[in-house]
């Protein structure tokens, strides 16, 4: 058994966690095969706990919005009614668009919205949703406000599921909440980074039910990541 498989046992906080990790061991190990990735497999690149949850709760009539596209885009396209994605990387957006067209999916709407240079000398924080800032140091002087506000062109309470897996995630989460239906799912990836949801503790406590919030193994790498799934009350 590979070393990282033993790590998974150490990360399991409960018998239920261990059983779920163990049930996915074959899928996890086989995901390391050459040429496999989330796009080729048409699967969201989130941990197995969250992926299993989506498999059980996704519905064909869902409308989905994504901050950041990839294998999740293809997964949603083949499983729900409507998918909207905003992406900031031009090369990746081109690849994603061509892949979706080649597969014949017609229920997708994509927006390429790059960051912009920000001429504002005041200090900004990537932890503050109002600052629309990425934690990536190479993007220090850029703003993702237009990127995060792409969702604002859709009505409030429009989407059944919103995935936050791109740039400036606290800002995207802030913009996402009004556009999520009652009973809808907010999925925030990589929440082992506390600042992604730190600003929203009170909102989560009063407006959401925590459906999934664990750190676990993720396909294609030996890493463990956190994915949080919240259901709007």
Tens digits of residue pLDDT in 37-69: 778 889 999 999 999 999 999 999 999 999 999
> How far apart are the C-alpha atoms of 36 and 188, rounded to whole Å?
24
> How far apart are the C-alpha atoms of 193 and 201, rounded to whole Å?
14
What per-residue confidence (pLDDT) applies to 217?
A: 85
What per-residue confidence (pLDDT) applies to 14?
A: 53
What per-residue confidence (pLDDT) applies to 23?
A: 55
188's enclosing H/E stretch is: strand 180-189
80 secondary structure, DSSP code: S
Other beta carbons within 10 angstroms of residue 175's beta carbon come to: 22
- Torsion angle of the four alpha carbons 88, 92, 96, 102, in this order, in degrees rounded to the nearest 10: 150
What per-residue confidence (pLDDT) applies to 16?
A: 55
What's the distance, CA 35 to chain centroid?
Answer: 22
Within the chain, which residues score under 70 in pLDDT?
1-26, 28-29, 31
> How far apart are the C-alpha atoms of 189 and 68, rounded to whole Å?
11
Tokens of 38: 């989330």
Alpha helices in 24-151 (DSSP H): 25-30, 38-41, 48-57, 71-77, 90-103, 145-148
What per-residue confidence (pLDDT) applies to 160?
A: 98
pTM of the model: 0.88
What per-residue confidence (pLDDT) applies to 4?
A: 42
> How far apart are the C-alpha atoms of 76 and 69, rounded to whole Å?
10
Paired strand residues for 162: 65, 186
Tokens of 96: 């994603």
Output the CA torsion sign for 233, 49, 149, 201: positive
What per-residue confidence (pLDDT) applies to 35?
A: 76
Please check whether the domain covering 3-232 is classified as CATH 3.40.50.300. no
> How far apart are the C-alpha atoms of 109 and 126, rounded to whole Å?
28
């Amino acid at each position: 058994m590979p070393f990282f498989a033993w790590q998974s046992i150490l990360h399991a906080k409960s018998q239920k966690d261990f059983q779920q990790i163990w049930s996915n061991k074959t899928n996890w190990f086989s995901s390391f095969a050459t040429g496999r990735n989330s796009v080729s497999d048409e699967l969201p690149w989130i941990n197995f706990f969250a992926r299993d949850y989506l498999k059980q709760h996704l519905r064909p009539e869902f409308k989905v919005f994504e901050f950041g596209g990839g294998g999740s885009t293809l997964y949603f396209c083949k499983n729900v009614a409507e998918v909207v994605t905003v992406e900031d990387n031009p090369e990746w957006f081109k690849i994603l668009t061509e892949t979706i067209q080649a597969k014949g999916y017609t229920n997708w709407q994509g927006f390429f919205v790059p960051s912009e240079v920000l001429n504002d000398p005041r200090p900004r924080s990537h932890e503050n949703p109002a600052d629309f800032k990425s934690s990536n140091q190479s993007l220090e002087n850029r703003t993702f406000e237009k990127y995060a506000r792409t969702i604002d062109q859709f009505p409030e309470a429009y989407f059944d599921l919103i995935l936050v897996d791109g740039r400036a995630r606290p800002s995207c989460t802030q913009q996402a909440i009004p556009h999520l239906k009652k009973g809808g799912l907010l999925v925030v990836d990589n929440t082992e980074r506390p600042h992604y949801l730190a600003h929203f503790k009170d909102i989560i406590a009063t407006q959401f039910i925590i459906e999934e919030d664990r750190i676990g193994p993720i396909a294609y790498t030996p890493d463990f990541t956190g994915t949080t799934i919240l259901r709007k009350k």
